[in-house]
Amino acid sequence: MSSKTVKRLSRYLDLPTAESDISSEDREFEALSDDVFASIKGYEHFAILELMQTKGFRSSIPWIAKALGISSVKARCAIDRLFRLGIIRKNSSGHFVEVGSGWTTSIHKDRTDQGRKALQRELLQKALFSLETQPLEVRDHTSVTFAISDQQIEQAKVLIAQFRRQLAKKLDATPYPKNCVYNVSIAFFPLTVTSES
């Protein structure tokens, strides 16, 4: 989420921003404050915002629900919440338009909460569904296993964050019309069992 949008949302909701958790080189990817995130923690909110950028988008609850494979009730609730928070509005033609520019979430480096865990769990479930139902031509499920020193964990997290952001920027700058919404979820975790695990 852009710095400007975080500040606007936080002022609107009378909430503090989480700027202290962000390095200076990552300002354009500011984290949502816990309170703002709690309002829009379901993946469907972010998916709707991205869907709005696709060619042929329709400002119709049934169309959005069908495009994302969610219920009309879930789509309606998400749209209503995005309107209430001032994240989207209707233009003079009655079409939904995004008020801000660019959205992302970030789990804090030193902690997490149930809402962020629920979002990741939901996205992992969507990835499992994709693994079982979608052809290889439209998805990529790969993994790599390697031994490391526990002194490299933070370095790995930084590299993963850089990769996610570079991928998003590169694909966002496409000259082709956008016609689908994707998610990249990366899991980095120990396979060895230690007394601390």
pLDDT tens-digit series, residues 12-42? 444 444 433 334 344 354 455 566 666 777 8
Confidence (pLDDT) at 181: 95
Nearest Cα to Cα of residue 98 among 61, 47, 154: 47
Q: What pLDDT band is residue 121 in, cutting at 50, 70 and 90?
A: very high
Segment 80-100 mean pLDDT: 89
d(CA 111, CA 109): 6
User: Residue 117 pLDDT > 80, yes or no?
Assistant: yes
Cβ distance 67 to 74 under 8 Å? no
90 beta partners: 96
88 beta partners: 98
Q: What is the tally of structural domains in the chain?
A: 1
Confidence (pLDDT) at 113: 77
Domain span at residue 101? 1-197
Confidence (pLDDT) at 36: 61
At residue 161, what is the residue type?
A: A
